[in-house]
Structure 1
């Protein structure tokens, strides 16, 4: 039996899920990226209690197949953008489709219906978050960041960044430097 849980990937969340399973005497084989694999049958009472306990901690037990699929899509995108050394060079749609084993049109329609935005919009939002992170680290130039995230040009990255944040990447970086200088002056 597999249970899907909506939570951020963190050691704290994994530990919390494991603790709840152990409190209820539910044997599991693994707790991974939003998914728990259970060894035995779980009673309705155990499942209900598990769901309530998770909710108290800000986690959510997913039981709707469409919501589960959307969480899987989101996980693949987050992994692809934030945790891979480099964004895969293949088309985003091909990558997501291949990772999840579904036709991209089906994934795209399901995601849009459940979340109210397209997969591409979700990807762009995460790419911009990654750009912010890389700008704050100050290790790469904007050209290197554009290349790393497979933007066609620095201008394309800058336009998307401004559209999402209301700031240019250069101004965003300047704000960070001003904040640092102000902290030093204290």
Structure 2
């Protein structure tokens, strides 16, 4: 995640912030005048307000460009598209969905996303869908087939392969986690 920092004007600022971000549990991928790039993690990320408070307490602030705002709108559109698939059972063509939601050409949105985020919009969509798959496998009794079709995958086998590729685990691993959670709930009742 790329942050634009107002007031970051010298090497001491770089040094200071390179010490402060890790205190918040955030790992820096790159830092230069006016910019901090944080490493992406699968864990819940720090709330923007906490980062802003740390920066403001030390004489800095976050800057937002219209491009960064657009990235947030793209991410929200992806989340909405995934939820629409689950709610309606209808496949969503994300390129058309995002383009329609934001009233912009998909190719330009995709290029903007890649340039600011450092990975493709397609990879982001896949990672969000995989997160949802993991959630559904652990917290519902839906089968991989049901989930695959609900999220617009052509086949359960394709989803299974993608899950293994992106997480290193099969669906049975997540079903096992569900079973363990259910067993713990029953044993503690």
Q: TM range, normalised to the smaller chain?
A: 0.5 to 0.7
Q: 1:137 maps to what in 2?
A: 139
If the length of structure 2 is used for normalisation, what is the TM-score? 0.62
Q: Is the 8 A contact 1:81 1:87 kept in 2?
A: no
CA-CA distance at 1:183 after TM superposition:
6.3
Residue 20 of structure 1 is matched in structure 2 by: none
Residue in structure 2 matching 1:178, options 173, 177, 180: 180
The correspondence for 1:55, drawn from 28, 33, 52, is: 52
* Cα offset, 1:139, TM superposition: 3.0
Q: Do 2:138 and 2:175's aligned partners in 1 also have CA atoms closer than 8 Å?
A: yes
Pick the aligned partner of 1:100 from 99, 102, 107. 102
User: Which deviations, in whole Å up to 9, do the C-alpha atoms of 1:83-126 show, x marking residues without a partner?
Assistant: 66146534210110111011111000000000011111111111
Q: What is the deviation of 1:134? A: 1.2
Query: Which among 116, 119, 140 is matched to residue 118 of structure 2?
Result: 116
- Output one character per residue of 1:42-76: Cα deviation in whole Å (capped at 9) or x when no partner: xxxxxxxxx99982289x86630111111110011
Find the counterpart in structure 1 of residue 79 from structure 2: 78
Q: Which runs of 5+ in 1 are unaligned?
A: 1-50
Q: Distance in 1 between matches of 2:103 and 2:133?
A: 29
Residues 1:130 and 1:86: Cα distance change in structure 2 (over 3 Å): farther
1:146 to 1:159, Cα distance in 2 relative to 1, 3 A: same
User: What corresponds to 1:65 in structure 2?
Assistant: 66
2:151 to 149, 152, 156: 149
> How many residues were matched structurally?
135
For 1:148 and 1:75, how far apart are their aligned partners in 2?
19
> Which sections of structure 2, spanning at least 5 residues, go unmatched?
1-47, 56-60
Q: For residues 100 and 120 of structure 1, do their structure 2 counterparts lie closer, same or farther at Cα, with a shift above 3 Å needed? A: same
CA–CA separation in structure 2 for the residues paired with 1:150 and 1:170: 20
Return the TM-score normalized by structure 1: 0.63
